Every structure is written in structure tokens, then in C-alpha cells.
Amino acid sequence: MTHPTSPRRTRLAVLLGTAAALTATALTATATAAAETPYGAAATGTGHSQHSGTVPLTTYSTGSAYQLRDTTRGNQRTLDAMNQTGGGTLFTDPDNDWGGTGTPANRQSAGVDAHYATAVTWDFYKGVLGRNGIRGDGTGVTSRVHYGSNYPNAFFDPSCSCANYGDDPVTGKTLATLDIVGHELTHGVIASTAGLGSAGEPGGLGEGTADILGTAIEFFADNPTDVGDYFIGERVFADGPLRRMDHPSLDGHSRDYWSRDIGTLDAYAASGPARHFFYLLAEGSGPKVINKIAYDSPTYDGSKLLGIGQDEAVRIWYRALSTYMTSTTNYARARTATLMAAADLYGPSSVEYGRVAAAWTAVNVR
């Protein structure tokens, strides 16, 4: 259990992209425009990441060097923020082999994590959900790693489609893991779809949505080093994952079930029932081992639930988000939105429809 005044609690309260963080930082997406050249071509490099092992990277050859720039996915670029909170320098490399354990190669390794996970996120949204980029218009994301100094946090700025990742001062690791990158970029998807507010129940649903899709992206990557799990940020911090989905309150902060006061809590605590709903819908209640990790998900009323699988649960949540949710959607309306989405996708008499209703009831949203 986490003590309320521990450093970890402070981190929870600010972690992963609040509206205040977004407005506090004006990023310049054009910082590296001068580094680009019209005469290069896409290339495939090799990245040595901090969190995901050795991974392929789509890079860009200028003819004399390589850049962390992906012209096959909306010109996504990855920059070194050089421990500042503005500007940044596009990562370049002479031989297209990136990262590693040495210095300065280790600075590149954080860029590898971000560039890789941002490409996976693009492929997930396009391949699984038919969405063309975070904004839906084919434009890519600008990522910046080594943001700030001793900044164990990350955030997304929709105004420039820019994602920023700091480094944890304890472990020295970048925050740009598959699930955190997926979480941050999903804040961009939310901004382009439902536009869920940042406070109250809509704020909780926004953070829940980011954790749900971030987790789906981690599973989608099928990476043997960072295997899929229902934890958020499990690879970064010395004291374990930030949040979990099967039993949210085990982080010492989140709520497992809806209650009348939930809209008065911070958005991370208030996101607990959304995460828990998704886990129950996907995997069901009670003990279960997934990728060698043991879970045991409880229900509000002691009901025993069967899951429909993560793939269908993701499709239902995304359709609800992109079709029925709005800036003011609360938990009761999220239940309605997901039921409408389940009816659209699988029919109003489907097994899926019934299990959506049961999973909401199991987190006390009736």
C-alpha cells in the first residue's frame, strides 16, 4: 500500500497528461524542419531500446546520415529534448544502428523506445481500428524524450500533436514504454473524438480510456521483452506499476467501483471503475493467469463474470468513444454508450451486449 504522502502519490497525481500540463507547455513542432531534406528515402534501422529489447525502426536516410523520422507513418519524428522543456534536436545516426548501453548511445536508447512505440501505436490504430493517425488525418506525432530534468512524467499536447517523455530519476529509465506511449497518444485520440473533459467523471473516463487503449497497444505489440499485462508503467519505476486494471485499488489510490463522490476525486483515482470495467469485460472476474501473470478481479456484488476477450472489448470501447461519448459523458452515460456500441457491432441480443451490461453492474454503474 502506498502512503498518501509518498513520492509515488505525488507522481500519481500528476502523471500522464493533465490539461494543466498541456497548457503549461508550448511546444514547437517545427523545431527540426531545417534538418529535413527532400532527397532522402525511408530506411529500416535497428534499435536497442531500454524497455522493449532490440526492435526494428523505420528511419529516414538523407544520403549522408539517418534520422529518427518515419515518412511511412505521417512523418513521425523523435527528438532529444536535451533535458529542456522547449525545442529539441532530431535524433541522427551515422550507421542506422541506434541506442545501446554506452554514452552517448544511451541517450539514443530513449529515442528508440519512443520511436518504436509511436510506430506500434500508429499500426494499432490503423490496423485494428481503421484510424489514420492520432488525429485521424494521416499526420504523425512529434515525440520528445529526455524532457526536462528529473521529470518522471509524460504528457501530450494536442495543439501540435507532440508527446513528451521525461526520465525517472531513480531508475534512470525513460517513460516512453509501450503502455505509456499508447496512453499519451490516446489522449490525442480523445481530443479528436469525444473530447472528454479533464475533471469530474469525464476526466476519470478520459484517463481510463488512455489506460485501456495503452494496454491494448502493449498487447498488440506482442513484444517478447515487454509482454502484455494489465498494469500501467510496470517497466519504469522502482516501486512497481503506477496503476492496474484487474483490481485498481491495490495501487492504494484508485477506486474499484463507482460511487456518488467519484467525480470529486482526481482523474486517476476516478478512472479506476473504467479500467476495472474493461478488465472484467475482456477477461472476466476471479483468478486468471495471463502471460504468466496472476490476476484476481473482484466484483461489487460478488457476481461471477465471463469475459468476451480483449479484442472485442477494445472495439466496443473505441466505438463508444468515437461515436457516442462527448465532453460531458459520465459513468452512467458511458454505460449507455458502450451498450449502443455493442449493439452496433454485435447486435442487441448478443452475448457481448449482455456482458457489457454485467461488467458495468459489477463496478456499480447501473
Binding site for Ca ion (CB under 5 A): 179, 218, 226, 229, 231
Q: Which run of H or of E encompasses 356? A: helix 351-362
Q: How many Å apart are CA 29 and CA 36, to the nearest integer?
A: 13
Closest approach, Cβ 275 to Ca ion, in A, equals 12
Residues in the chain: 366
Q: Is the Cα torsion angle 96, 100, 106, 109 positive or negative in sign?
A: positive
Nearer to Ca ion, 191 or 221 (CB): 221
107-to-91, 92, 172, 283 alpha-carbon distances in Å: 10, 12, 11, 38
Q: Which residue is nearest to Ca ion (CB)?
A: 179
Strand-pair category, 162-165 with 154-157? antiparallel
Nearer to Ca ion, 60 or 231 (CB): 231
Nearer to Ca ion, 161 or 186 (CB): 186
Nearer to Ca ion, 62 or 225 (CB): 225
> Taking CA 124 as the corner, what is the angle to CA 278 and CA 93, rounded to the nearest 5 degrees?
130
- Give the cell for residue 2: 502506498
Q: Is the Cα torsion angle 74, 121, 9, 298 positive or negative in sign?
A: positive
Closest approach, Cβ 262 to Ca ion, in A, equals 24
**Residue closest to 216 by CA, chosen among 97, 139, 331, 312:** 312
Closest approach, Cβ 113 to Ca ion, in A, equals 13
Closest approach, Cβ 124 to Ca ion, in A, equals 14
Closest approach, Cβ 230 to Ca ion, in A, equals 7
Nearer to Ca ion, 179 or 201 (CB): 179
